[in-house]
Structure 1
Amino acid sequence: MKSVLYGGVLALQFLTRLPVPIGCPWTPKTRRWAIRAYPLVGLLLGGLLSLLALLMQNAPTPIAALALLSLWVAMSGGLHLDGVMDLADALGSNQPLVRRWEIMKDPQVGSFGILALFFLLAWKGVFLWALLHYHAPLWWLAVLPSLARWGGAALLVLTPCAQQKGMAWSWKQSLGPRDVVLALAPMLLLAFFWPGLTLALVAIAVFVGASRWALMTLFQGINGDMVGATIEGGELWLMGLMLSWWWFAMASPPGI
């Protein structure tokens, strides 16, 4: 039981900037339970976002969207955005494989990283604005961060690391496909209450599969930055699909 609790706290400390001043042992058991808790941490973040959306439902839509985006970034401390920028700099360099890995390790941010950050946040903000404007149901905001974090966990477990060092490689030593399945359990339970969630589960699985193929092709393996970038990309992918689905539902005549 202690390993379960420590794993949950470890996931909170690793994925968020929420103050959790508890020392957690770094053991294979706590790492396994931390990965399994990734979607639960996402549900917590999504719940806080949904609460803010409810509190600001009478505020101007652009202000509410910007407030949600600000809270979204603040709660994660920009952890995954750093991965997006590093990956964008490496891909934008158009250099051989060895040089791309060197660029990813460089702590300085290049022009491609800045552009990737700008457009990612811009699209996320616009999607939030549109979804709020068209009064999409708030369950999507509650579960979206959870699905994306499950996607990051799945990529980490099911994809080889490019190098036998670093945080991602450390985590992988304790993980297996069973952890990916157990991490999905909360989402499967919620799918009984929100049938539309089943389609979102399929969508994030497709995104993870495509990301795995692309990263193996371009980098012959992954690292922690790529896991973070997959979480951010998964959130954006799901937001775009949610908006498309809601537009279609609104435009369809009754009974269709």
Structure 2
Amino acid sequence: MKHILQQIGGAIAFYSCIPLPSSWPLEFERIARWAPWIGFLLGMGIGTLDYGLALGHMPDLTRSALVVALWIGLTGGLHLDGVMDTADGLAVMEPERRLTVMSDSRTGAFGVMAGTLVLLLKVCALSNLSIAHLPALVTALVWGRIAQVMAIAIFPYLKPEGNNAFHANAFQGLGDLWPSVIGVFAIAVCQYYGFPLAWPSVLGGILMASSLSLGISYWFYYQFKGMTGDVYGAIVEWTEALILCCLTLV
């Protein structure tokens, strides 16, 4: 139990900017499996703020923009940075140069366009939701991180010496997937009581989100022939944005 609490603390510190007590010991070795739980925590916090702003009759578009701004702030732009670096890498025609371009601290035009597009999709999708925002935000944030766990579990990491290689190196197969399963259950409960949806619709949503998560992960794997920390971030952001877009159809 002690190691689990240390790993959860490490996951909070790594994946978010949520302050922790200085006395909380942190362990980073196997934090990837707890990422969906961090998504749930962030989704509940951001969704609660959104609900409060809605009670104050703030217009949907303004409220959605503020929520997405807080979303970036609480994650420190960690995953959005991956979107931009990955887009810059994909803009290079020579595959062997892509990792070099992605490691450059400067952001190129394609990175700016990709980052802007993700933010626009999130703001527009949130402002056009006809369902409760809180369960929608929880759904998007948890599934974004489940998609990352899927990518870590299924696809190889490109740079064994990379800063994020510890995610793949420390992953221990099916034993590290159970937090994601609990995350899926939490999403199902939120959708059943928050939207509300009938159980067949909830199960259909899980199938759709699983397919979307795997499809996004595979597309990036096909482009790079492996994963990097930036690609993990891009997978999280694109999954979140597209999940929100799909929820506008509900």
TM-score interval (norm. to shorter):
0.7 to 0.9
Between the aligned residues of both structures, percent identity stands at 24
Q: Distance in 2 between matches of 1:63 and 1:103?
A: 35
Judged with a 3 Å threshold, the aligned counterparts in structure 2 of structure 1 residues 157 and 168 are, in CA distance, closer, same or farther, namely: farther
Tell me how large the CA RMSD over aligned residues is: 1.8
Q: Distance in 1 between matches of 2:156 and 2:213?
A: 14
- Which string of whole-angstrom CA distances, capped at 9 and with x for unpartnered residues, describes residues 19-66 of structure 1? 12334244xxxx33x223211111111101111121111212222111
Report the structure number with the largest CA radius of gyration.
1
Paired residues of 1:89 and 1:109 also in contact (CA < 8 A): yes
Paired residues of 2:47 and 2:133 also in contact (CA < 8 A): no
- 1:37 equivalent among 7, 10, 34: 34
- Which string of whole-angstrom CA distances, capped at 9 and with x for unpartnered residues, describes residues 146-180 of structure 1? 11111112112211011211133222122133145
**More displaced stretch, 218-227 vs 167-176:** 167-176
Q: Distance in 2 between matches of 1:8 and 1:25?
A: 8
- 2:230 equivalent among 214, 225, 228: 225
Q: Distance in 1 between matches of 2:124 and 2:217?
A: 27
Aligned match of 2:108? 110
- 1:138 equivalent among 134, 140, 155: 134
Question: Deviation at 1:101?
Answer: 1.4
Question: Deviation at 1:186?
Answer: 1.9
Aligned match of 1:14? 14
Judged with a 3 Å threshold, the aligned counterparts in structure 2 of structure 1 residues 227 and 200 are, in CA distance, closer, same or farther, namely: farther
- Which string of whole-angstrom CA distances, capped at 9 and with x for unpartnered residues, describes residues 82-118 of structure 1? 100011001122x211111111111110010011111
Paired residues of 1:84 and 1:232 also in contact (CA < 8 A): yes
Aligned match of 2:158? 162
Aligned match of 2:196? none
Q: Distance in 2 between matches of 1:9 and 1:198?
A: 31
* TM-score for the superposition, normalised by structure 1: 0.86
Paired residues of 2:150 and 2:214 also in contact (CA < 8 A): no
Tell me the amino acid that sits aligned with residue 222 of structure 1: M
Q: How does 1:93-108 map to 2 (within 5 A)?
A: 93=92, 95-108=93-106
Q: How does 1:208-247 map to 2 (within 5 A)?
A: 208-244=213-249, 246=250
Q: How does 1:199-214 map to 2 (within 5 A)?
A: 199-214=204-219
Question: Deviation at 1:13?
Answer: 0.6
Q: Distance in 2 between matches of 1:4 and 1:17?
A: 20
Q: Distance in 2 between matches of 1:56 and 1:35?
A: 32
Paired residues of 2:216 and 2:239 also in contact (CA < 8 A): no
5+ residue gaps, structure 2, are: 193-198
Aligned match of 1:67? 66
Q: Distance in 1 between matches of 2:228 and 2:210?
A: 19
**Aligned residue pair count:** 237
Judged with a 3 Å threshold, the aligned counterparts in structure 2 of structure 1 residues 146 and 197 are, in CA distance, closer, same or farther, namely: farther
